[in-house]
Amino acid sequence: TVLTPDSAIRAAGDYKTATKNFWHPMSPSKQDPSQETLIVVSGEGNYVTDADGNRLLDGVGGLWNVNVGHNRAEVKDAIKAQLDQLAYYQSFDGVAHPRVYDLADRLVGMLAQEDAHRVLFGSNGSDAVETALKLSRQYWIAAGEPGRVRFLSLRNSYHGMHIGGTSVGGNAVYHYNHGPLLPGVELLDSPFLYRNPWNTEDPAELTDHLIRQLEERIEFLGGQTIAAFIAEPVQGAGGVIVPPEDYWPRVREVLDRHGILMISDEVVTGFGRTGNMLGSRGWGVKPDIMAFAKGISAGYIPLAATVFNRRVADAIENGPGFSNVIMHGYTYSGHPTAAAAALAVLDIVERDDLPGNAGLVGAVLQDELQALESHRYVGETRGKGLMAAIDLVADKGTRESVDPSSGIAHRIAAAAREEGVVVRPAGTKIILSPPLTLEADEAREMVRALDAALSRVD
Ligand code: PLP
């Protein structure tokens, strides 16, 4: 049966009430029956349509990933052409297909400033992070310092859900049900001006504290035991935490002094979201290893890439004995159809300067959002480019968060949806990560809807 859009919408409406065998990820295993599920049926540009036929502005961009907008003909055509030729083939030892080489070349070219040299593919951000962590240990075996096995990471960080990424993740809710986790992970404080252990509101002073903490921890553990420092250039899922200007350059300087690798988790920030092609580039630092997913294929087909700079790649390629073998990879480490989608997406990102648009429209969004701080529950709005958070507090003086079980974030998101905008409730925050094709008027519309939604919940 071919469903017309109208009948597709009617049929999809049934899913709101039908028995479901589906466990929603990141959700209670038993869904609250009073909480209505948003059934998304179709997407076009910066909008999606739900099962009732409502057209909604997509303030979440799928899940920080539909960066080029929905239903782009160029991307669909590239996928179809590849499917007609070869949907899938592997790329293990001695086998490959053209698109995977094309995409690796394209990435190394785009990341020449970072001295990018080699690429290993996967399917999602968790793969990209796991590859980065494992290969950073391999680097040290190849480089003759096998004792470097520890990882440094940050509180409030999110690095995906594989066991390595879970272990370096800095939010305890992801640890409770899945221990024991990887040993040798050291959490440091997050560059979070709004809430930090020193209660400082001065960015330069915050960096001083954090750098001192980093130095002390390295001294205590011994730099010769630490493989890598992993972090997001702007922490995303942890609440869109934008570090002080001098944070990243100073971290990089300390890491260099101790030879520690820097892994930049660019899963959210890669390919434009912060207003720069890379999050780390925006802070003027060059990582040794970069983890990409989400925006690389903009959600059209799952894909991840972990990119290694020349230092890491050369050491592994020239490592002694078994240390130069990449004994790591996935069935989908180089999926031809995903690679074709990514090539088409990256064409759009570069041709339409989506990082530039994210910077310009992001500035409008961040500016307008600040007006929401007059609402009862809004402690702070913050962000960079087209990633933003509304931090919901019970008490503006103490900055104590709202009770996550109060459902306030969900109520605000539901009210925003009635105003025509999808936003993401995440515990005690509302998260915004729209397509990078967003226009300034649409940014204003998002804020207007949130203003109305917050007024209702106030
Ligand atoms: N790293 C970061 C910074 C992320 O935000 C995410 C997902 O949101 C991941 C890794 C994991 O990506 P995925 O959910 O595709 O496995």
Q: What number is the ipTM of this complex?
A: 0.99
Does the C-beta of 159 come closer than 6 Å to ligand 1?
A: yes
Does the C-beta of 236 come closer than 6 Å to ligand 1?
A: yes
Q: For residue 208, is pLDDT > 70?
A: yes
Q: For residue 176, is pLDDT > 80?
A: yes
User: In degrees rounded to 5, what are phi and psi of residue 73?
Assistant: -60, -40
Q: For residue 341, is pLDDT > 50?
A: yes
Q: Please, is 458 exposed, middle or buried when counting C-beta atoms within 10 Å of its C-beta (0-12, 13-18, 19+)?
A: exposed
Q: How far is the CA of 454 from the centre of ligand 1 (A)?
A: 28
Per-residue pLDDT reduced to its tens digit, 395-413: 999 999 999 889 999 999 9
- Max CA separation in the chain (angstroms): 67
Q: What is the pTM of this model?
A: 0.97
Does the C-beta of 62 come closer than 6 Å to ligand 1?
A: no
Q: What is the pLDDT of residue 9?
A: 65
What's the DSSP call for residue 208?
H
| Residue of 424, 429, 447 lying closest to 380 (CA atoms) | 429
Q: For residue 179, is pLDDT > 80?
A: yes
What CA–CA distance (Å, rounded) separates 149 from 146?
7
Q: What is the pLDDT of residue 10?
A: 64
Q: How confident is the model at residue 156 (pLDDT cuts 50, 70, 90)?
A: very high
Q: How far is the CA of 49 from the centre of ligand 1 (A)?
A: 25
Q: How far is the CA of 161 from the centre of ligand 1 (A)?
A: 8
Q: Which two tokens stand for residue 318?
A: 């020239």
Percent of the chain with pLDDT over 70: 96
* H helix and E strand count, the chain: 14, 16
Q: How far is the CA of 304 from the centre of ligand 1 (A)?
A: 10
Task: Identify which of 26, 121, 129 to mutate to test ligand 1's pocket (most ligand atoms within 8 A of the CB).
Answer: 129
In this structure, are residues 366 and 116 in contact, taking their beta carbons and an 8 Å threshold? no
Per-residue pLDDT reduced to its tens digit, 301-335: 999 999 999 999 999 999 999 999 999 999 999 99
Mean pLDDT of 427-431: 97
Q: What is the pLDDT of residue 119?
A: 98
Q: For residue 19, is pLDDT > 70?
A: no
Q: What is the pLDDT of residue 1?
A: 42
Does the C-beta of 293 come closer than 6 Å to ligand 1?
A: yes
Q: For residue 16, is pLDDT > 70?
A: no
Beta strand 226-231 with 150-154 is parallel
Average pLDDT, the chain: 96
Q: How far is the CA of 87 from the centre of ligand 1 (A)?
A: 25
For residue 401, the SS3 value is: strand
Q: How confident is the model at residue 5 (pLDDT cuts 50, 70, 90)?
A: low
